[in-house]
Amino acid sequence: MKSSVKSLLSLRRLLPASPNLFPLPKCLFQPKLFLFMPTTYSTICLSQEESVGEDDKDQPEDSGQVLKTLGCSDADIKKIFTRVASLKKVDIVQLQLKLKLLTGLGITAPELVKIVNDRPRFLTCRFNHCFDEQLEFFSRFFGSRELLVKAILRNPSLLTYDFCKKIKPTIELYKGVGLRMEDLIQMLISRPTLISRSSFNEEKMEFLRKTGVPNNSLMYKYVVTLIGGSRLETIRQKVANLEKFGLSEDEVLGLFRRSPYVFTLSIDKVQRNMTFILTQMKLPAKVVLDHPGLLYKNLENVLKPRVLLAGKMHEMGLLKIIGPKIVSAMRMKEERFLEVFVNRQPKDVADELMEYYKSVKGVRRLAETSKKNLHHGFPF
């Protein structure tokens, strides 16, 4: 019987396939001869099974152990969990993946603690799906891992910004206004909010043209990024604030061209310093056009105590510090200032002047010390 089945099968293979071909009788086949039982075979040997078991034991059980494997101390982990308690319940695999990416960039455990302390939700937020492309782009853009890490430490959100909708368009925006790439890299590191806040419209471009700063000037990178990263309403308010003290728009633009970071000062600080310069130092408003540093000085620790000390010395008949001398006195470092105006006096006079200087230095406005600093982390 078996030989007849084999001969029929051989004949079947030789004949061409045809729908008219008569089927072979089912009785010729014994189902049990063609029944195959599925079987699985292990490709892991005994020693490999043991090693897999050991690996499972080595796997961290919680996020604290994951951070420990990175090199964080117990104090570091406690500090991180204090800032972001939800990290205790985060998915371990996802956390390990993020930490692997960060350590691959060269970020150390102390730097990670700083990032999480300043930006608590950094490890709990999701990296975007273009992260690999984004990382490769930044590596080419910054030119070195050192600069990239420096930029990330300044603003960790560089890793979480939308790559296609935020990062690329902003870089193209500054290319379009003539900013060189090496200057843009420098400004991205010094001004971390550049990616998230930059925008240009016709009014901003007109303001940029009015400053008269050419794009090959050393000051252009500061001017263009300050205008691009500021709200239009803020620019208007700060120009109007200086005009209120008698400066024309052209003079304000000239001041901005000479010292662009004047526009980073708050309206309140500029008002207070300008008021003190006019009323107590008896200087004209235009003095800040030649000496913009007067607007940057701390009123309570520099301007006020030095002017009061100059008045005290004038009362004692020692020295008259007015006009250009008082401006020079404001520009000195404290050690140099005390050496020139206090320590050269006779000892008893110098002691009296020093005691007076210490008593008036750092005296704040009423209720200034009761202000609470509600901001933690990055200053933006």
Domain extent listing, the chain: 61-126
Helix/strand/coil for 266: coil
Closest by CA position to 137, among listed 100, 180, 98, 172: 172
Report the alpha-carbon angle 158-161-165, nearest 5: 130
**Burial annotation 181-197 (CB, 10 A radius, 16+ → b, else e):** eebbbebbbebbebbee
**Of 217-221, 267-271, 278-282, 360-364, which range is least confident?**
360-364
Token pair for 284: 């004209």
Q: What is the mean pLDDT of residues 261-290?
A: 94
How far is it, in rounded angstroms, from Cα 334 to Cα 340?
A: 10
pLDDT tops 60 at residue 298: yes
Q: Work out the percent of the chain whose per-residue pLDDT is above 90.
A: 41
Q: Which residue has the tokens 């990055």?
A: 378
How far is it, in rounded angstroms, from Cα 76 to Cα 86?
A: 16
Using an 8 Å Cβ cutoff, are 245 and 278 in contact?
yes
pLDDT tops 60 at residue 13: no
pLDDT for the residue numbered 356: 92
Using an 8 Å Cβ cutoff, are 207 and 170 in contact?
no
The predicted-structure confidence for 94-146, as pLDDT tens digits, reads as follows: 788 888 878 888 888 888 888 887 777 777 777 666 677 888 888 889 888 88
Please, is 109 exposed, middle or buried when counting C-beta atoms within 10 Å of its C-beta (0-12, 13-18, 19+)?
A: middle
- For the chain, how far is it from start to end, CA to CA, in angstroms? 90
Token pair for 37: 């039982």
Q: What CA–CA distances, in Å, run from 44 to 40, 41, 49, 72, 366?
A: 12, 9, 6, 36, 77
Report the alpha-carbon angle 120-123-128, nearest 5: 120
The predicted-structure confidence for 191-212, as pLDDT tens digits, reads as follows: 888 898 999 999 999 999 999 9
pLDDT tops 90 at residue 44: no
pLDDT for the residue numbered 365: 57
The residues, ordered by sequence, that sit 6+ positions from 136 with a Cβ below 8 Å of its Cβ are none
Contacts 24+ apart (CB under 8 A), 356-360: 356/308, 356/309, 356/312, 357/305, 357/309, 360/304, 360/305, 360/308, 360/309
Q: What is the mean pLDDT of residues 178-200?
A: 90
pLDDT for the residue numbered 371: 52
Token pair for 321: 């510090």
Q: Which residue has the tokens 């910054």?
A: 142
Going through the chain in order, the beta strands assigned E by DSSP cover: none
How far is it, in rounded angstroms, from Cα 181 to Cα 159?
A: 19
Using an 8 Å Cβ cutoff, are 110 and 102 in contact?
no
Using an 8 Å Cβ cutoff, are 102 and 69 in contact?
no
The residues, ordered by sequence, that sit 6+ positions from 207 with a Cβ below 8 Å of its Cβ are 227, 235
The predicted-structure confidence for 330-355, as pLDDT tens digits, reads as follows: 999 999 999 989 898 899 999 999 99
Number of residues in the chain:
380
How sure is the predictor about 230, in pLDDT bands with cuts at 50, 70 and 90?
A: very high
**Of 61-75, 239-253, 363-377, which range is least confident?**
363-377
Calculate the average pLDDT of the chain: 80
Token pair for 174: 């500054």
